[in-house]
Amino acid sequence: MTQKSESIEIMFILTLIGGFLDSYSYITRGGVFAFAQTGNLVLLSINICYGNLDKIARYIMPIIAFILGTTLVRIFEKKYKYMKIVHWRQVIIVFEGIILALVGFVPENLNKLACLLISFVCAMQIEAFRRFNGVDLMTTMCTGNLKKATDRLIDYFYTKDKNLLKASFTTYAAILIFIMGCTIGTLTSFVFSTKSIFILPVVILIAFIIMHETERNKKWNKWKIQTKQMDM
């Protein structure tokens, strides 16, 4: 049985968030791709070559934050993967929502801090949520997804394995959802500027409720099975 944190519904929500934040950070937070570290590495290299030392920190800080976010989630998973109260990914997604809410209060003269926090969240999301409905894909970037979707589609034509076709369509769907998130992020950023990010904690709350209800139902069903076994 697929864990609810790996469901299509959660994939939809998280990919929407990924697209939103990439547009948001670029438009309102100083032209930085807070989710796409490849872009930041390219811009970092260009500014080093041009000797723009004042701009180096703008691009290197999100990269460092990304490394720290990945490290934190990896350690948390190792230590609390089998925690009983809630699923460990629920803790991560709540933490993500809190950080994004805080970003909304960061003034524009502290855009470097805002981008650092967003990159930290990006790393958390990538590390914690990597597989949906049995399909490996990313919720915060499209290059890898585009390759995987195309590979799976070509493989399907050779093997006629319907699982590959399903995986391909799921991955292409993630790309479309990411584009939708970028569009929403762009339009809301034009209207509400840095405050548009306050939409995301509400969206994350929906994801948490979906995951929580499933975990509660799973525990209830487990308890009923145990009770029946005791009565036999």
Overall domain count for the chain: 1
228 by Cβ neighbours in 10 Å (0-12 / 13-18 / 19+) ranks as exposed
Q: Which tens digits make up the pLDDT trace of 14-24?
A: 999 999 999 99
What residues make up the domain containing 212?
A: 4-231
Q: How confident is the model at residue 113 (pLDDT cuts 50, 70, 90)?
A: very high
Exposure class string for 3-29: b at 16+ Cβ within 10 A, else e: ebbbbebbbbbbbbbbbbbbbbbbbbb
Amino acid at 212: H
φ and ψ at 107, to 5 degrees?
-70, 160
Alpha carbon 169 to its chain centroid, in Å, reads 19
Quick: pLDDT tens for 154-195: 999 999 999 999 999 999 999 999 999 999 999 999 999 999
Selection from 198, 186, 23, 225 nearest residue 98 by Cα: 198
What pLDDT, on a 0 to 100 scale, did the predictor assign at position 63?
A: 87
Which domain CATH number covers 201?
A: 1.20.1250
pTM score of the predicted model: 0.85
Query: Residue 135 phi/psi, 5° resolution?
Result: -120, 130
